[in-house]
Structure 1
Amino acid sequence: MTVRTRATRAAASALIAGALLVGTAGCSFITPTATLNHYDPSDGIGAEVGDVKVRNVLAISNDDESAVSLMVTIINTSSSSGSLRMQYESAEGERIDISKPVTSGEVKSYGTEVDGDMIVIADAGIRAGQLFPIYFQFGNDSGQELLVPVMASDDVIYADLAPASALSE
């Protein structure tokens, strides 16, 4: 009888251990892996326009909200050089184009450093807290419109990256 009791206990222990293993690991079989999902880890947003990656796009409004500086990082993963075209609508309803050249394999940033290259938009008619629609297009690839968040310059992180007041110039 002792042999049978030991065998029963061993089988029961193995069954419980197996159930515990399947119960605790079963979620990974039906739940998608979160690290494979694209997300924007900062205040800005991003997109891919053909072989060009547009990352951390953010507009920073100045104190009187008369202008914004555009913060953007452009990564050209293609084998060809070209220009990234950005188009927005001014406060008067006119479409404005901005074109920035980017060579093959280049990573180019605008508005990310105090003394660096900036893209200043003075006629956007937008305020902090709004979303600024900007259309991005590279080469012959179809473009994509992004709703760019507009941040206030009173945030310590962005205070030095805001443009000068357009009304005082």
Structure 2
Amino acid sequence: MTVLTRAARAAASALLAGALIVGTAGCSFITPTATLNQYDPSDGISTSVGELKIRNALAISNDDNSAVSLMITILNTSTSSGSLRLQYESADGERVDISEPLSADEIKSFGTEVDGEKIVISDAGLVAGQLFPIYFQYGNESGKELLIPVISGDDEIYADLAPASALDE
């Protein structure tokens, strides 16, 4: 009778250990790994148009909301040069095109440094808190529209990157 009890205890222990292992590690078998999810770790948003990568795109408004400065980094990972076309709609409904030449394997940033190159838009009628639709197109690739967040230049992180206010001029 003691042999049967030992066998029953051993079987119960093995069953309990198996249930404990499955119970504590089973979630990792059915739950997707969070580190594999793509996300934008900053205030801006990102996308790719063919071999062109657009990173951390956002618009910084000035004090009186008369203009925004685009803060954007563009990576051309292709072996050929070309032009990036940005298109947006002005406050009066007209489409406005901006073209920026890009060399092969070039990384180009706008609005990321105080004295650096900027793209200032003063005809879109934007206010901090809005989303600014801009269409990005490169070469023969199908373009993509991004809804770029408009952030106030009052924030000390972005204060030096905001365009000059009409009140300052």
Q: TM-score range by the shorter chain?
A: over 0.9
**Deviation readout 1:55-103 (Å, 9 max, x if unpaired):** 1110000001000000001111222211111111111111111111222
Q: Distance in 2 between matches of 1:113 and 1:81?
A: 24
Tell me by how many angstroms 1:6 deviates. 3.1
Question: What is the TM-score with the length of structure 2 in the denominator?
Answer: 0.93
Following superposition, which runs of at least 4 residues in structure 1 exceed 4 angstroms of deviation? Answer: none
* Structure 1 segment 129-168 matched on structure 2, within 5 A: 129-166=129-166, 168=168
Residue 16 of structure 1 pairs with residue 33 of structure 2: no
**Deviation readout 1:37-68 (Å, 9 max, x if unpaired):** 21111111111111111111100000010000
- Higher mean C-alpha deviation, range 81-90 or range 65-74: 81-90
Tell me by how many angstroms 1:168 deviates. 4.5
Question: What is the TM-score with the length of structure 1 in the denominator?
Answer: 0.93
Does the CA contact (< 8 Å) of 1:45 and 1:57 recur in 2? Answer: yes
The alignment partner of 1:134 has SS state of strand
Q: Distance in 2 between matches of 1:2 and 1:81?
A: 83
Q: Distance in 1 between matches of 2:2 and 2:107?
A: 73
* Structure 1 segment 58-77 matched on structure 2, within 5 A: 58-77=58-77
**Deviation readout 1:138-157 (Å, 9 max, x if unpaired):** 11000000111000011111
Overall identity of the aligned pairs, in %: 76
Q: Which runs of 5+ in 2 are unaligned?
A: none
The alignment partner of 1:43 has SS state of coil
Q: Which runs of 5+ in 1 are unaligned?
A: none
Q: RMSD in angstroms over aligned alpha carbons?
A: 1.4
Does the CA contact (< 8 Å) of 1:66 and 1:167 recur in 2? Answer: no
Letter in 2 for 1:83: S
Q: Distance in 2 between matches of 1:2 and 1:101?
A: 86
Tell me by how many angstroms 1:4 deviates. 3.5
Letter in 2 for 1:36: L
The alignment partner of 2:149 has SS state of strand
Letter in 2 for 1:109: S
The alignment partner of 1:14 has SS state of helix
Q: Which residue of 2 aligns with 1:108?
A: 108
Aligned length: 169
Q: Which residue of 2 aligns with 1:31?
A: 31
Does the CA contact (< 8 Å) of 1:132 and 1:149 recur in 2? Answer: yes
Q: Which residue of 2 aligns with 1:97?
A: 97
